[in-house]
Amino acid sequence: MARKRFDDSKCSVARALNEVGDWWSLLIVLHAMYGTRRFVDFQQQLGIAKNILCDRLAKLVDNDVLRKVDVGEHGSRFEYRLTEKGRDLFPVVVALRQWGDKWNPTPEGLPLDLRDRETSQPIQQVTVQSSDGKTLTIRDVFDYEQTH
């Protein structure tokens, strides 16, 4: 039987994963955030096969995460730019990157943290916060208990 799809799942995480939950899509979004816009640049930076890139870009455009913009003089030159929906994945990507840096650091061990370009200060760890700014754990939000 076909792979299960989550388009109509009642779980919004499942629906989100349906759009950006495969191997390549979130990496494409990440590189779009780095500033990449052109097909060939995505291809070279990611080392992805052209047909797969083609497919993923089309799906991301379909899902309104990217926008395909004609930038050619007479057509046939395109750029893929993040929509607001795509830009809204910023916290997801940063949280994932911080998680990867913390738990799977490079063998070289350089932390290479992200910084606020204006102040050159490292950014904060992405956390879940209550309305008054306290950092929340799983226990505070879900009915989750950990008997260590």
> From the list its own copies, DNA, none, which binds 116 (C-beta under 5 to 8 Å, kind-based)?
its own copies
Q: By the 8 A CB rule, do 77 and 40 touch?
A: no
Q: What is the token pair recorded at 90? A: 């910023």
Is 128 near DNA (CB under 7 A)? no
Is 122 near its own copies (CB under 8 A)? yes
> From the list its own copies, DNA, none, which binds 110 (C-beta under 5 to 8 Å, kind-based)?
none
Is 59 near its own copies (CB under 8 A)? no
Q: By the 8 A CB rule, do 62 and 7 touch?
A: no
Q: By the 8 A CB rule, do 48 and 24 touch?
A: yes
> From the list its own copies, DNA, none, which binds 88 (C-beta under 5 to 8 Å, kind-based)?
its own copies
Is 89 near its own copies (CB under 8 A)? yes
